[in-house]
Copies of this chain bind each other. A is one copy, B any other.
Amino acid sequence: MPASPLVDAAPRIDALVDALAGSHPEIEVRRPGAETAAYALDAGTRREIVGAGPAVAFPADAQQVQRVVRAAAAAGVAVVPRGAGSGLSGGARADAAQLVLSTERLTRVIEVSPGDEVAVVEPGVVNADLNAVLAPHGLFYAPDPASYAISSIGGNIATNAGGLRCAKYGVTRESVLALDVVLADGSLVSVGHRSIKGVTGYDLVSLLVGSEGTLGIVVAATVRVRPLPVARRTVTAFFPSTAEGAEALGAITRTRVRPSVVEFLDEPSLDSIDRHSGTSLRARGASLVLVELDGFGIDEQTAELSEALIAAGGAVRTESDADGAVLWELRRSGRGIDEGEWFLGGDVAVPKSRLPEVYAAFAGIARRHDVRIAAVAHAGDGNLHPSVTRTIPEGGDPAHPDPALHEALEDIARLALSLGGTVTGEHGIGSVKRELAALELSDRVIDAHRAVKDALDPQGLLNPGKAY
């Protein structure tokens, strides 16, 4: 596949666009240019500087996806599948020598089946839009990445997106039963099954979920949906310090309660919310364990959980529905990036009992690299998102954080690995975390990745240079 300099790619891209326009005028294809620049980047790479954007195809059904892939294969042009572009690891990063295949026209909710507890959707359906369609049926789609209002199901599948409710309901993979996929040779295949169980052949559905568009392009997904719980309740526990709050997480594990969400916000995260949202959470404590319970026996659950958190030293309160809603909104979007600061975000996960050690290590890492570190955690599954910041010095370039910020994030990733964790809990490897992936995966395992990739995409056509 094209390893040639970008300058050589232009004629090949032109020929591909011409060929598609000639043979398949029903497919909208935009030529490379300034107006496609947004398609070169995703939310994880948006600070990068690009010149002209890539060519972009907008197929409107599975057959059009096949035609685009076949034409690109014939022209020797790599294809970068793109959902909503909300990914945080550069999975949809494209250069001018590549063709972006956008799924934004594939937005049909094909079917909702309450009896089978499934929905069948095209990849461009936005996560929140699917839930809006499901709600009148008394159903919901569980995976809830923080980007649920803007991210697409196809992108969620490509990254095996996580979210807040994963500890109880699983990540995206646990909610995907079957996929229609266009492979690198342009063939359209169905894998998986609409039944909840099934073990015919290899689990190619799970192999495709999280493969970041490198093994195939999802054109339809059969996802599992669930009845909306009979009750939901928010419980808060504030602690006098970050360390005490982090320690208390283990007390939840020792109960029989498995909340739908357990979030942990450390002292600097609470400070950031107060600063950006005008709240006064810090007046209640220095760290916050924010819990959502759901399902039957909500009073019993609340009692067992509260007792454990009080015993662990927390100031525990069952919130009203209104206050709970405010707290969840603050958790999701209450923090902000301060003017005049460099900011880099991370996404590591550790075995859940090790979370206190991660928080305890931040002070040393921050000192070593002269940065500030804050972190919120999806504590129920050990996934946390550190924010590394530093005041931009006189004359510093806001678009180019000092290398020290990257080094601090890498130290946090190494720490997670040393505790038995992983360098990415839910955002994926994409284009920006390949060096971190190499810290985690052994050479032999990377060889195995390459062999699987070559097996399904021998030409290296689909999203080369991503995912591992």
Contact = CB atoms under 8 A, between A and B. Distances in A.
Interface residues of A, number: 96
A456 B445 contact: no
Interface in A243-270: 250, 253-258
A428 B199 CA distance: 6
A429 interface: yes
A83 interface: no
Given A174-B170, A295-B296, A382 B424 contact: no
Contacts of A448: 183, 189, 204, 455-456
A197 B253 contact: no
Nearest to A231: B297
Interface stretch (A58-66, A95-103, A345-353): A345-353
A235 B383 CA distance: 38
Q: Which of A196, A203, A349, A440 has the largest count of B CB atoms less than 10 A from its CB?
A: A196
Interface string A408-429: 0000000000001111111111
A166 B442 CA distance: 33
A301 interface: yes
Contacts of A297: 295-298, 300-301
A23 interface: no
A224 to B, nearest CB: 10
Contact of A383 (B195, B207, B454): B195
A198 B116 contact: no
A340 interface: no
Given A442-B190, A445-B191, A115 B197 contact: no
Contacts of A174: 170, 174
Interface of A, secondary structure class, is loop
Contact of A116 (B210, B215, B353, B425): B353
Contact of A159 (B199, B211, B304, B455): B199
A197 B426 contact: yes
Interface string A327-339: 0000000000000
A160 interface: yes
Interface in A138-180: 138, 159-160, 162, 166-167, 170-171, 173-174
B202 A467 contact: yes
A230 B253 contact: no
Contacts of A4: none
Interface in A63-118: 113-118
A19 B210 CA distance: 43
B203 A351 contact: no
A451 interface: yes
A228 interface: yes
Nearest to A230: B256
Q: Which of A200, A203, A204 has the largest count of B CB atoms less than 10 A from its CB?
A: A200
A272 to B, nearest CB: 23
A420 B196 CA distance: 11
A206 interface: yes
A403 interface: no
A437 interface: yes
Interface in A195-228: 195-204, 206-207, 209-211, 215, 226-228
Contacts of A390: none
Given A201-B449, A254-B114, A196 B352 contact: yes
Given A117-B352, A193-B420, A452-B455, 10 more contacts: A114-B254, A116-B382, A166-B196, A196-B382, A197-B383, A198-B424, A200-B437, A201-B446, A203-B210, A296-B300
